[in-house]
Amino acid sequence: MINAYKRCVIVLLIIVALFMFWNSFRSSTMEVVIIQKVSKNEITIKNLGDRVRTIKVPIDISKLVEENKQYAISYDKRILDNYRINYISAQLP
Specify the amino acid at residue 89.
S
CATH for 27-90 (1.20.58.190, 3.20.20.70, 3.40.50.1100, 2.40.50.500): 2.40.50.500
Alpha-carbon distance of 64 to 38, in angstroms, equals 10
Domain segments of the chain: what residues? 27-90
Report long-range pairs for 35-44 (Cβ below 8 Å, ≥24 apart).
35/65, 35/66, 35/67, 35/68, 35/69, 35/71, 36/67, 36/68, 37/67, 38/62, 38/65, 38/67, 43/85
pLDDT tens for the chain, residues 1 to 93: 668 888 899 999 999 999 888 777 888 889 999 999 998 889 999 999 999 999 998 888 888 888 999 999 999 988 778 899 988 998 765
